[in-house]
Amino acid sequence: MNMDVLTPIEGSIARIRLNRPKALHALNTAMCTQILSALDGWAKDEHVAAVMIDHAEGRGFCAGGDIRMLAESGAKDGADARAFFHVEYRMNHRLFTYAKPTVAFMDGITMGGGVGLALPCDFRVATENTKFAMPETGIGLFPDVGGGWYLSRLPGRIGRYLALTGHRLDGAECLALGLATHYLTSDALDEAKTRIAADPQDIAGILDSLSSPAPDARILAHRDAIDRLFASDELEDIFAALAADDGEWAQQQLATLKTKSPQTMKVSLRLLHEGAMMKTFEDEMRQEYAVGAHVVQRHDFLEGVRAVIVDKDNAPNWNPATPEGVTDHVIDQIFAPLPDAEAWAPS
C-alpha cells in the first residue's frame, strides 16, 4: 500500500490525506492513481456521504507535482511525464464532476498540483497559512491542472497576472477572489473536520459557523493597475505597458516577468484566452494534456528545472530569451492537438 497518500473512511466521510511531508506532499504518479481509484470506489459506495481532502502532517497542503521526474522523462521520450499528466488530469476531472460533496483544506503551501486538487472541490478552506500560487512559468512550464479554466474566470485580468508572474496569494486574497469558499484560522480546522465527519450533510453550515473575518485582500489594492497593465493577450504589449509605467509596483512586475520563460508566458496567455471560452472542463483538460506533452520535452522546461530545482543557481538560460523571439508558429506547435489515439480522455 502506498503510504504517500492515506485514503481511510471514517464514519460516512471518505478522506484523502496527503502524506509525503518531506516533499511538501508533492504528487507523484502512484499518489494520483491511488486517489483516482479511491474516488471511483467511493462514488459507488452508498455509505460514503462526502470526501474530505487535507494533508496528514508537516507544513504545506501540496507543493505541486513531481517536477524532477517530469524533467528526467522529458529529457528522454517523455512517456513517464505523459503518464503522470494523464492520471493527474483524470483525478482533477473526477473531482470537478464528482457527485458527492467535496471539501479541501488549503492550510499551507497550495501550488500547482495542489491547486488542481483543491479548486475542483465544492468547499475550499483557506487559512492564515495559505500560500496559493501557480508559479510554473518560472520553470518553463504553464499553469496546468485546470489553470486555463480557473484563472481565466477570475475578476478582470487577475488570472493573467497570476499566471505570468506566479504571484503568491494569501488566504484572505483567495477568499476575496473566490478561490476559497471559506476562511478559517488553522486552530479551528480540527473542530471543522470532526464536525463534518459527524454531520456531512451540513458542511456549509459547519464551515460558516467556524469562519473568521479575513484580513484585507492586499491584491485588490492593485486591481486597477492589474487590469490596465495586463490588459492585452500579447506578451509584448504587457512588457511595453509595464515599461512605460514608472511606478514602483509596475517596475517590480516587469523585473519579475524578466525572470520567467518567455515561451511559457506566451503559452499561458493563450491557454487562458482559450480557456475562458472552453465549454467543458473536459475540453480544458484535453487541451492542457496536449500542451503539457509538448512543453515537457522543450528546452525551457528542462532548463528551468535545472536552474531552480537541480542546480539551484536560479539563472535559467531561456531560449528564446525575449518575448519577441517566441514566434506564433512555435506556440501553434505547442498547442497542436494530439492524434486521437494519444489524446487525453476522462476515463
Single-letter code of the amino acid located at 220:
L
Say which CATH architecture domain 5-334 belongs to: Alpha-Beta Complex (3.90)
Can 113 be counted among the known catalytic residues? yes
CA distance 135 to 168: 8
Among 60, 64, 65, 112, the active-site one is: 65
Task: From the candidates 64, 78, 112, 113, give the one annotated as an active-site residue.
Answer: 113
Cβ contact 25:18 at 8 Å: yes
Q: Whole-angstrom Cα distance, residue 209 to residue 227?
A: 35
Which residue in the list 107, 136, 170, 303 is annotated as catalytic? 136
- One digit per residue, the tens of pLDDT, for the chain of length 347 reads 679 999 999 999 999 999 999 999 999 999 999 999 999 999 999 999 999 999 998 889 999 999 999 999 999 999 999 999 999 999 999 999 999 999 999 999 999 999 999 999 999 999 999 999 999 999 999 999 999 999 999 999 999 999 999 999 999 999 999 999 999 999 999 999 999 999 999 999 999 999 999 999 999 999 999 999 999 999 999 999 999 999 999 999 999 999 999 999 999 999 999 999 999 999 999 999 999 999 999 999 999 999 999 999 999 999 999 999 999 999 999 999 999 999 999 99
- 65 noted as active-site residue: yes
Q: How many CB atoms lie within 10 A of CB 252?
A: 12
Could you give the count of Cα atoms lying within 13 Å of 179 in the half-sphere of its Cβ?
35
Burial of 53 (0-12, 13-18, 19+ CB in 10 A): buried
Q: Give the predicted TM-score (pTM) of the model.
A: 0.97
Provide the residue ranges of all domains of the chain, joining segments of one domain with +: 5-334
Label residue 244 exposed, middle or buried (CB < 10 Å: 0-12, 13-18, 19+).
exposed
**Which is catalytic among the residues 4, 144, 284, 288?**
144
The string of DSSP codes covering 33-93 is HHHHHHHHHHHT-TT--EEEEEESSSS-SB--B-HHHHHHHHTTTSHHHHHHHHHHHHHHH
**Residue with the three cell numbers 496527503:** 18
* Catalytic residue list contains 148: no
Looking at residue 1, what is its pLDDT?
62
Q: Any residues with CB less than 8 A from the CB of 74 and at least 6 apart, and which?
A: 81, 296, 297, 298, 301, 302
d(CA 192, CA 211): 10
